[in-house]
Amino acid sequence: MTLHLKVVTSNPGKVREYQAALAEYGVEMEHVHVPYDEVQTSYLEEVVDKGLKALYAQGLRNFMIDDSGLFINGLKGFPGVWSAYAQKTLGNPGILKLMENIKDRAAVFKCCIGACISDQTIIVTGVCPGLITQKEAGTDGFGYDPIFSPGMDGGPTFAMIPIAEKNQYSHRGIAIRMLIDELKARKFI
């Protein structure tokens, strides 16, 4: 039995990433762009849960969505659920400026994936702890990659390591593996 899953996103790169991870389980992904309101809340899980319900109410079936963000300790969790907006407006230089006199550099990347399949709901969250660097480093990746060093030893940033290695411990890589485990446990794959 082939599982057909619609990925609701405005980002085609994400669809390719999910397709690459789920292809070996015979999952067919379809990119759909259906606008829906994202609720204002500090929790990714709530954004995803409300998003699933809104899309279900619009009649969508067998679909998935995701939301991710960077939560910085020293900034009380900012940019968090506002990460996309903060990346567009402040960018990495703006975040480093906010961090100028802050000693606590700890941060976590979180990725929450939600799926609605045969009227069942799955919500999983992958978390990757790390440190905010003093300056940008590396040219690979996107978004906050040049200022985020995974782990607590101040090693290379996400923008300095190959994508396959990043996926081994990134928030999205972990969330995708959790999703696969759930799909297996519920016999969808």
Amino acid at 111: C
Residues at the interface with ligand IMP (CB under 6 A) = 67-69, 83-84, 87, 141-145, 158, 170, 172
- Shortest Å distance, C-beta 177 to ligand IMP: 15
Is 66 one of the annotated active-site residues of the chain? no
Cβ contact 147:157 at 8 Å: yes
Query: What DSSP assignment string belongs to 100-142?
Result: TT----EEEEEEEEEEEETTEEEEEEEEEEEEE-SS---SSS-
- Shortest Å distance, C-beta 137 to ligand IMP: 13
- Shortest Å distance, C-beta 141 to ligand IMP: 6
Give the closest residue to 150 by CA, choosing from 126, 173, 131, 176. 131
Q: Nearest residue to ligand IMP, using CB?
A: 143
The active-site residue, picked from 37, 66, 67, 140, is 67
Please list the active-site residues.
67
